[in-house]
Amino acid sequence: MRLIRHCGELTPDLSGAVVALGNFDGVHRGHQAVILEARRIAAGLGVPHGVMTFEPHPRTVFSPAQPPFRLTPFRVKARLIEALGTDLLFQQHFDAAFAGLSAMEFIDDILCRCLNVRHVVVGYDYVFGKGRQGTVALLQKMADDGRFGFTSVPPAVAPSGETYSSTGVRTHLVEGRPADAARLLGHYWEIEGRVEHGDARGRTIGFPTANLHLGEYQHPALGVYAVRAGIDKGATTVWHDGVANFGRRPTFDKAVEVMEVHLLDHAEDLYGRHLRVALVDFIRPERRFAGLDELKAQIAADAGTARAMLARRHFPESPGPLVPVAEP
């Protein structure tokens, strides 16, 4: 997949693509329906398959003081989009100037002059341009006028009747239901980052942990999770079962929320390594303990619970770019 950040980087072989438009935070099953419809149309026309997304997320431009909410920072989003067979990912910089473009300026300057799109694919509720004045109806009118082809993808609904949405995924995570979030996403929600030095307290009680700060990621419910932890090995990611606590560590009067991950049956030093952590299931809320002995006993129990939860899910040995949903 080619990553394009500026119009001048677009080569002739990538011009005239079928392009899916959207922010695609989470790349959930609804987003996948839009992207895969663009791929299907591109294959039929014999042209490149493209995705346009916007960075930083528009909400950070319009509401910079809001709490962290990202499901997939750009690196993660790009990996998921590439896994869908995309040829071209156009990363449109989003700032006040871009937000000030009218809907027609976006169509004329970006879609037509810059990308020279052959066909545009969006979700049923897509809006764009200053004041969100650009709509599916406007894109259809442009298609009727011969500017480009156009497809609007209807809402995708889960078997439970819930519409696939980023808001739904966030709600499940905040309320401690990572397995339900995964069913909307089509993959387990994960965070990734560089392992940082902590207090090294876990190592002294027999449960060494790798510490990650979530930064711009959506914060899930505070508590203990069964996880799959992926160690970056360059071209590949090596996955291990694990147990993780996300919280403030009240037993030690800490205030900053940290993800502490203990890999089961693994002793490699992970300081400075790039680690991916996929939340599989929720074990219990975070709580304060009377002392180290009580805490150590509970961690051992949590590790046993995580081991049993993960053993029931039968993960593939090499899950590739993401950890697919594995029902128990």
Question: Which CATH number characterizes residue 132's domain?
Answer: 3.40.50.620
Which string of DSSP letters, residue by residue, matches 179-220? Answer: HHHHHHHTB--EEEEE-B----HHHHTT---EEE--TTBPP-
| In the predicted structure, residue 151 carries a pLDDT above the cut 80 | yes
Residue 268 falls within a domain, yes or no? yes
Cβ atoms 280, 310 nearer than 8 A: yes
Q: Are residues 249 and 188 in the same domain?
A: yes
What does pTM read for this prediction? 0.91
**Of residues 60 and 117, which shows the higher confidence score?**
117
Q: Determine, yes or no, domain membership for 317.
A: no
**Residues 47, 189 share a domain:** no
- Residues 184 and 137 placed together within one structural domain of the fold: no
Per-residue pLDDT for 205 more than 70? no
Judge if 195 and 102 occupy the same domain: no
Exposure pattern of 196-235 as b/e (b: 16+ CB <10 Å)?
Answer: eebeebbeeeebbbbbbebeebbbbbebbbbbbbbbeeee
- Distance set, CA 139 to CA 117, 128, 206, 293 (Å): 12, 10, 60, 63
**Per-residue pLDDT at 201:** 55
Residues 50-66: what's their mean pLDDT? Answer: 91
pLDDT at 200 over 80: no
- Find the helix or strand (DSSP H, E) in which 246 lies: strand 237-247
Under 8 Å between Cβ of 210 and 195: yes
Phi and psi dihedrals of 76, rounded to 5? -70, -45
Q: What token pair was written down for 8? A: 């001048």
Tell me, yes or no, whether 161 lies in a domain: no
**pLDDT tier at 289, thresholds 50, 70, 90:** confident
Tell me, yes or no, whether 8 and 140 share the same domain.
Answer: yes
Look at residue 259 and tell me if it is in a domain.
Answer: yes
What Cα–Cα distance (Å) separates residue 171 from each residue in 47, 141, 216, 246?
Answer: 38, 36, 17, 17
Q: What is the pLDDT of residue 229?
A: 94
Question: Is 142 within 8 Å of 110 (Cβ atoms)?
Answer: no
Whether 325 is covered by a domain: the verdict is: no
The whole-number average pLDDT for the span 78-83 is: 95
Residue 160 lies inside a defined structural domain of this protein: no
Do 100 and 186 fall into the same domain?
no
What single letter denotes the amino acid at residue 87?
D
- d(Cα 135, Cα 151) in Å, to the nearest integer? 12
Same domain, 221 and 258: yes
Same domain? For 149 and 219 the reply is no
Q: Final residue of a domain: which of 98, 118, 153? A: 153
Domain extent at residue 144: 2-153
Q: How many Cβ atoms are within 10 Å of 20's Cβ, its own excluded?
A: 33
In a domain, 170, yes or no: no
**Domain annotation covers residue 63:** yes
Task: Supply the mean pLDDT for the chain.
Answer: 91
pLDDT for the residue 65: 85
* Domain stop point among 98, 121, 153: 153
Q: Name, in order, each residue with C-beta under 8 angstroms of 194's C-beta and a sequence gap of 6 or more.
A: 212, 272, 273, 274, 275
Same-domain check for residues 220 and 118: no
Regarding whether 130 and 72 lie in a shared domain, the answer is yes
Q: Given strand 258-263, what is the order of strands in its sheet?
A: 190-194, 274-285, 223-232, 237-247, 258-263, 210-212
Nearest to 274 by CA among 217, 214, 203, 195: 195
Q: Which of 102, 119, 153 is the last residue of a domain?
A: 153
The predicted model gives 226-233 an average pLDDT of 92
Residues 83 and 210 reside in one and the same domain: no
Quote the number of domains for the chain. Answer: 2
Q: Which residue has the tokens 């997939």?
A: 72
User: Does one domain contain both 208 and 104?
Assistant: no
